[in-house]
Amino acid sequence: MSPLDQLKPALLWHYFDEIRQVPRPSKKEAKIIAYLQQTGKQLGLETITDAAGNVIIRKSATSGKENRPIVILQSHIDMVCEKNNDVVHDFLNDPIEVYVEDNWVKAKGTTLGADNGIGVAAALAVLASNDLEHGPIECLFTVDEETGLTGAAALKQNMLKGNILLNLDSEDDGEIFIGCAGGIDTVATLPFQPEKVPDGYFWALIEVKGLTGGHSGDDIEKGLGNANKILNRFLWQQARKTSLRLANIDGGNLRNAIAREAHALIGVPNAQKETLRVDFNLFTSIIENELAQKEPSLQLELSSETAPATVIDQKTSNLLFNALYACPHGVMRMSDTMPGLVETSTNLASVKMASSNIIITTSQRSSIDSAKHDVAAMVNSVFTLAGASVKHGEGYPGWKPNPKSPIVALTASMYEKLFQQKPHVRAIHAGLECGLFLEKYPHWDMVSFGPTIRGAHSPSERLDIVASQRFWTLLTEVLKAI
């Protein structure tokens, strides 16, 4: 028996329960594509899969609504795959283990995949339902939203017939989104020379863990800790006080997630061992005080380790410490036109070692295209000064708000009618696929809404049950009214 069996509406949660059992990492969506194809076939509906892996399932209108406009329901099928270090989970094969607690659906030590599994589930529930009223429907399920929006970018013109799109990839009940930021990735590769381990050194593993993490767009303004910045702050200080040598460094994972964990294997001369320990305890106290309100579960640990095989050459490690310290992270500017909206931000996402290179991945977002490229150039310059080679991704466009949109007006008025409160109509700092859709289908009228999800892109991800019920009610009533 599933923990979700008793939740209402039953059809919505039935499909969410099925989806969470299908592995679907970004760029490895073959199993969820097959599931969608099978589901479309079982429902007797026209099902198309394009060369990129995007799936389209069409459903005819209910009786009396055959002449209504075609509506596109759109969600992405991939999920961010993050887990706590002490959790054993194979995202390529294992189902997500879920439980219900305090009106939230949660996962056991991993991301839940509500982003955007609940949107996929809602679309499938509409397709499977026999008691809803609606016009003709096209459900568009896109691949690889989380790591490049390549599914949306690859979507061909004339594949879809509708002119109205409901994007089901938002994460706040009571908020209706009419625009989003564009983004770009900046990746720096810093080569190093492995060197012989010096004699007479004490070796220690420095760990930063227990941070909240979160979405690098939705959560960037919340003042959360970044494990890469915290770890490097200590290493930078010690490199100026001791004869520190760096053997290994690893922090963060995904470009669109705020780094929750990081660690480094370092050594100092035996004579400086106690200095290291005392400074670490002092540093821990300082960071805990600075982040007491935002990061109550923060942990910094120092443990003795055996000597490594090699270390990074001293020049490169010092260049790395300086570059990571100088690299901006967080909000760069708030919007002048939409109060409370982050205009431009950057995320120091991950620091990894591969062969004889250190690879630093960052991502930049902005609702203003020129500002997005400006902050990407700023990050580029920091790592260029450190001697790294720097490359930018192709990026993706933002979605310019249309305040006169008919579908936005209908959705907002329907929300107020159903729940007796006005929704907040606004843009979002996270990236949505809508900007890419407009490049192929400039005539589309679009809106985005969804239930409340917290902690997306981290193992603290959770889905509000009551908000999910309201999301379903809003979706079905909007479809009935179009």
Average pLDDT over residues 235-239: 98
Q: What percent of the chain has pLDDT over 70?
A: 100
Closest CA to 14 of 128, 133, 173, 139: 128
Q: How far apart (Å, rounded) are the C-alpha atoms in residues 62 and 368?
A: 42
pLDDT of residue 178: 94
Largest CA distance in the chain: 85
DSSP state of 450: -
Encoding tokens for residue 88?
Answer: 């054993």
Where are the domains positioned within the chain? 10-181+398-481, 184-392
Does the pLDDT of residue 306 top 90, yes or no? yes
Q: How far apart (Å, rounded) are the C-alpha atoms in residues 262 and 266?
A: 13
pLDDT of residue 430: 85
Encoding tokens for residue 57?
Answer: 């399932």
Q: Which CATH class is domain 184-392?
A: alpha beta
- Please state the length of the chain: 482
Q: How far apart (Å, rounded) are the C-alpha atoms in residues 179 and 128?
A: 30
Indicate the average pLDDT of the chain. 96
Bond from prior residue into 423 cis (ω within 30 degrees of 0): no
Q: Tokens 């949505």 identify what position?
A: 432
State pTM to two decimals. 0.82
Q: How far apart (Å, rounded) are the C-alpha atoms in residues 324 and 311?
A: 19
Encoding tokens for residue 125?
Answer: 């529930």
Encoding tokens for residue 93?
Answer: 């094969």
Alpha helices in 43-159 (DSSP H): 114-128, 150-154
pLDDT of residue 328: 98
pLDDT digits (tens, 9 = 90+) for 347-398: 999 999 999 999 999 999 999 999 999 999 999 999 999 999 999 998 899 9
Q: Tokens 């892996």 identify what position?
A: 53
pLDDT of residue 402: 87
State which H helix or E strand residue 439 sits in. Answer: helix 434-440
Encoding tokens for residue 40?
Answer: 């479309």
Region of 288 on the Ramachandran plot (φ > 0 left; ψ -120 to 50 alpha; else beta): alpha
Catalytic residues: 78, 145
Closest CA to 378 of 335, 340, 333, 339: 333
| Count of CB atoms situated within 10 Å of the CB of 234 | 23
Closest CA to 183 of 260, 79, 256: 256
pLDDT of residue 218: 87
Q: How far apart (Å, rounded) are the C-alpha atoms in residues 455 and 85?
A: 17
Q: Which CATH class is domain 10-181+398-481?
A: alpha beta
